[in-house]
Amino acid sequence: VCVCDLMTADCVVSSSFPLFVPPDLYELLSALPSQLQPHVDSPDDSTFIHNMFGERSLHLLVKIHERLQHYEDRSPAPVLESAGSLATDSLLSVHDTVAQKSYDPNLPPLPDDIDDDEESVKIIRLVKNKEPLGATIKCDEHTGAILVARIMRGGAADRSGLIHVGDELREVNGIPVDDKKPDEILRILAQSQGAITFKIIPGIKEEAPSKEPKMFVKTLFDYEPAEDKAIPCKEAGLTFKRGDILQIMSQDDATWWQAKHDSHANPRAGLIPSKQFQERRFALRQPAAHVFQAQKISSRKSSGFRRSFRLSRRDKKTNKSMYECKKSEQYDMADVPTYEEVTPHCRQSGAKHRLVVLVGPTGVGLNELKRKLLISDPQHFSVTVPHTSRPKRNQEIDGVEYHFISKNIFETDIQNNKFVEHGEYNGNYYGTSLDSVHSVLSKNKVCLLDVQPHMIKHLRRAEFKPYVVFVKPPPIERLRETRRNAKVISDKDDKGSAKPFSEEDFLEMVSTGQQMESQYGHLFEKVIVNDDLTAAFSELKVALKKVETDTHWIPIRWTHS
Ligand SMILES: Nc1ncnc2c1ncn2[C@@H]1O[C@H](COP(=O)(O)OP(=O)(O)OP(=O)(O)O)[C@@H](O)[C@H]1O
């Protein structure tokens, strides 16, 4: 059983004593601040007393004193005199006296027979406030001991440095807990007011001092701990939304990592499922649903993702997909969206631009937005010139409308993976080559590319650092309103004739948009709803400007090349 300790703490004092310390002495030390409290008027004095009895050197002194009692006959030391008077004289004056003495050189050598494994207890005193302690406890299934199960990084317990994973909890406010269940202990804690004293047996291994880990991840799914049956402690869980950036604070536990939101001031970490664990249960829970979704979207390719090739948007006669469906398009375990390690990236001036990838359902307005960008700054934005194996027409110029190549060469290029995307239409090949993308980027222009969403993963590499924008349709009633005068290309050849949008076009646009977002949303860096065209365009322009000037999180693997 692993439960949460919802104890709150703001002031932490502690001391560490061997077990043979007379209980009256350390109880006296613990109790003194509260016993003196009624006689103290000013808050400053109260703080002073708390600090005084929490003073580490005083506690060390008592410990030394008790240890020295083992061999006091052999080598009495000045510290012994002072510490001996500690129980009888005024604690304050003794502490002052002792603190000013330099007794180090007079300490006798430690005896050889001292037992390093000697069990010791720690007395920890906490004063409740609203902040959770940030620790969980569990009952050891073999020994029945109550152990500290987890310390949340950055929480009150972690910051105090006094409680560690594996420490055994013996008493709470003097009540022994070794015969109690974790939830009974929780009840005792809940009923306690003000200062709470724990007696703890430190675990065998002291945790190495944790240096602030610097791993950041982008979350690729939504997570709500309250709905997670597997989490050992819901209250310690961290809620996040797909696309949030988290700092991973601990991966000590293979199943439950500790993380905090990069943008939040709260230093305390929360529990999140580890990458491995999330991948495993995602695969166990949803294989059927996922495959179904992948198929559903790929079957919709027939309704057209052809913009870059300037082909027919829809081939109702054959209802045939124009595009190759590679093995990689199908459901692939490596694609299970969990976390992606990221790092901040800012484009250096003069460096190549990031590739701008636009995705969205047919008719949503990708061409329109691209056209507006090109017109707004033709020196800055550019598009690729597609390849085709169809014969050149009279008015066409090779390298302007298309690069015209033979069927054989096209097929060889396909074999050699030279295309970002390619398809066949009316017996001719059409495609966008990787070289055509490089060609735009090497002119130091921003390359605008629209692709089918399943192609994004092939473009996610260091050389392109793609910035993926999803253009999303607005709700159907807004589509009806805004597209009243719009025309959609509806012919079956590439001459292009236009007709008004039908209700079916709108329905398809909305549902394809939803499917794309649910299946590929983790790959989108920006979502723009194309409701009012002018607003959508300026939102896109601002976002693209920021890509050039601001720092963005990018996958760390893009920086390793
Ligand atoms: N926000 C908008 N408001 C009104 N009309 C729009 C808006 N966005 C696009 N349109 C119009 O909708 C029609 C289809 O747009 P566009 O051709 O850009 O879509 P597309 O996503 O590129 O489609 P395709 O898949 O056919 O290439 C065009 O007439 C365009 O002017």
Question: Can you spell out the DSSP letters for 279-316?
Answer: HHHHHHH-HHHHHHHHHHHHHGGGG---GGGT--S--T
Q: What is the pLDDT of residue 522?
A: 94
CA-nearest residue, atom 23 of ligand 1: 363
357 CA to centre of ligand 1 in angstroms? 17
Residue whose CB lies within 8 A of the most ligand 1 atoms, among 305, 312, 367, for a mutation test: 367
Closest residue to atom 15 of ligand 1, CA basis: 365
At residue 435, the pLDDT reads: 96
82 lines ligand 1 (CB under 6 A): no
User: Is residue 487 lining ligand 1, measured as CB closer than 6 Å?
Assistant: yes
pLDDT in tens, 439-456: 999 999 999 999 999 999
Ligand 1 atom, smallest distance to 530 CA: 1
The answer on pLDDT for 271 being more than 90 is yes
- The yes-or-no verdict on residue 108 having pLDDT over 50 is yes
CA 299 to ligand 1 center in whole angstroms: 22
Q: Is 367 in the pocket of ligand 1 (CB under 6 A)?
A: yes
The pLDDT value given to residue 26: 60
Confidence of residue 263 (pLDDT cuts 50, 70, 90): confident
Q: How many A from CA of 501 to the centre of ligand 1?
A: 10
149-162: per-residue pLDDT in tens? 888 888 777 877 78
Token duo for residue 379: 């020196």
Distances in whole angstroms, Cα of residue 507 to Cα of each of 360, 480, 488, 513: 14, 10, 14, 10
Most confident of 154-168, 207-221, 298-312: 154-168
Task: Report yes or no for ipTM above 0.85.
Answer: yes
Ligand 1 lined by 366 (C-beta under 6 Å): yes
460 band by pLDDT with thresholds 50, 70 and 90: very high
Q: What is the DSSP letter of 237?
A: B
Q: Is the CB of 454 under 6 A from ligand 1?
A: no
- Round to whole Å and give the CA distance between 386 and 33: 81
CA-based R_g, the chain, Å: 34
- CA 548 / ligand 1 centre spacing (Å): 26
Contacts within 8 Å (CB) and 24+ apart, 460-466: 460/523, 460/555, 460/558, 461/558, 461/561, 462/557, 462/558, 462/559, 462/560, 462/561, 463/438, 463/561, 464/354, 464/355, 464/437, 465/345, 465/354, 465/355, 465/554, 465/558, 466/354, 466/355, 466/356, 466/357
Q: Looking at ligand 1, which residue's alpha carbon is closest to its atom 1? A: 533
Q: What is the value of pTM for the model shown?
A: 0.68
CA distance 503 to 189: 62
- Under DSSP, the state recorded for 21 is S
Q: How far is CA 373 from CA 97, 544, 545, in A?
A: 78, 10, 12
Nearest-CA residue for ligand 1 atom 26 is 363
User: In angstroms, what is the span from residue 367 Cα to ligand 1's centroid?
Assistant: 6
Cβ–ligand 1 distance for 445 under 6 Å, the answer: no
Substitution candidate for ligand 1 out of 308, 372, 432, 483 with most atoms within 8 A of CB: 483
Q: What distance in Å separates the CA atoms of residue 491 and residue 76, rounded to the nearest whole number?
A: 104
Give me the pLDDT at residue 543, please: 98
pLDDT of residue 326: 42
d(CA 530, ligand 1 centre) in Å: 9
Strand partners, 344: 553
Q: Which atom of ligand 1 is nearest to the CA of 532?
A: 1
Tokens encoding 532? 């009012």
**Are 302 and 524 spatial neighbours (Cβ–Cβ below 8 Å)?**
no
How far CA 91 is from CA of 68, 83, 101, 275, in Å, comes to 19, 10, 15, 54
Q: Is the shortest distance between the CB of 433 and ligand 1 below 6 Å? A: no
Mean pLDDT of 430-434: 95
Q: Which residues neighbour 343 within 8 Å (Cβ) at sequence distance 6 or greater?
A: 216, 553, 554, 555, 556, 559
